Amino acid sequence: MSPSPQASLHTARLLLRPIVASDQRRIHEGLSDPRVNAHTGIAYASYEDTARQMRWYAELQASGTGLWWAVCLSQRPDELIGAIGLTQLVAEHRRAEVGYWLMPDCWGQGLAGEALAALLAHAYGPLGLHRVAAEVDVDNPRSSALLDRLGFRHEGVRRGYEWKDGRPIDLAVYARLASD
Ligand SMILES: CC(C)(COP(=O)(O)OP(=O)(O)OC[C@H]1O[C@@H](n2cnc3c(N)ncnc32)[C@H](O)[C@@H]1OP(=O)(O)O)[C@@H](O)C(=O)NCCC(=O)NCCS
């Protein structure tokens, strides 16, 4: 179950390719948008600060504990419109967690669903995973709807699991198994 070298994934409208250094500008733009970071828990004050996110992607891959892709429209492979990937990958137990975000002008077109379907096929196929989970702020209906559409099962709620903006956040746990 080696995540390297990282394959590019193709869908009807999208290319999911490895994240490269020149993506930092668009990643900063996305993750500093309040509509995106309202539920991701990731926000960067400056472009330079986003270098931490770039290092995090590289470290996940180097340690084998995760793998992220730049999401691009097939016709514009250099312009990142979002990112999707795996974290908390535990090879021994064939499980990982999925994360994703898209630039808000790309919401409402089924693009996140298309990217997630491709990622799941890769996760259960070449990566050999059995369980892909997601933890979602209970007040993030777009993300929950996406997981429902992709056949994830709601397993429960971690109450008061994160502290954000001075108040506790409940996280819904979803998962889909290769055998589902
Ligand atoms: C979560 C997120 C990726 C979902 O994006 P999205 O565009 O709503 O998700 P989908 O790709 O499933 O698109 C579904 C919408 O596209 C519409 N759609 C249009 N064409 C479609 C098509 N060809 N196929 C499927 N759906 C289509 C659906 O009707 C649905 O519309 P609705 O939002 O009005 O109900 C996005 O809201 C986001 O980036 N949020 C911020 C980051 C975040 O919260 N990440 C998750 C943390 S857990």
For residue 43, the model assigns a pLDDT of: 80
Q: Is the per-residue pLDDT at 3 higher than 50?
A: no
Q: Is the per-residue pLDDT at 81 higher than 70?
A: yes
- In this prediction the pTM is 0.96
Q: Determine the topology of domain 9-130 in CATH.
A: Aminopeptidase (3.40.630)
Question: Which of 41-45, 91-95, 96-100, 112-116 shows the lowest per-residue confidence on average (mean pLDDT)?
Answer: 41-45
Q: Parse the chain into domains and list their residue ranges.
A: 9-130
For residue 4, the model assigns a pLDDT of: 52
Per-residue CA distances from 130 to 45, 55, 123, 152, 153 (Å): 37, 27, 8, 13, 14
Considering only CA atoms, which residue is closest to atom 1 of ligand 1?
A: 143
Q: Taking all residues of the chain, what is their mean pLDDT, rounded to a whole number? A: 95
Q: Is 70 in the pocket of ligand 1 (CB under 6 A)?
A: no
Q: Is 113 in the pocket of ligand 1 (CB under 6 A)?
A: yes
Q: Cα–Cα distance between 123 and 115 in angstroms, integer?
A: 12
The arithmetic mean of pLDDT across residues 3-18, rounded, is 90
Considering only CA atoms, which residue is closest to atom 6 of ligand 1?
A: 107
Ligand 1 atom, smallest distance to 40 CA: 47
Percent of the chain with pLDDT over 90: 91
Q: Cα–Cα distance between 118 and 105 in angstroms, integer?
A: 21
For residue 131, name the pLDDT band (cuts at 50, 70, 90): very high
Pocket probe for ligand 1: among 84, 109, 120, 162, the residue whose CB has the most ligand atoms within 8 Å is 109
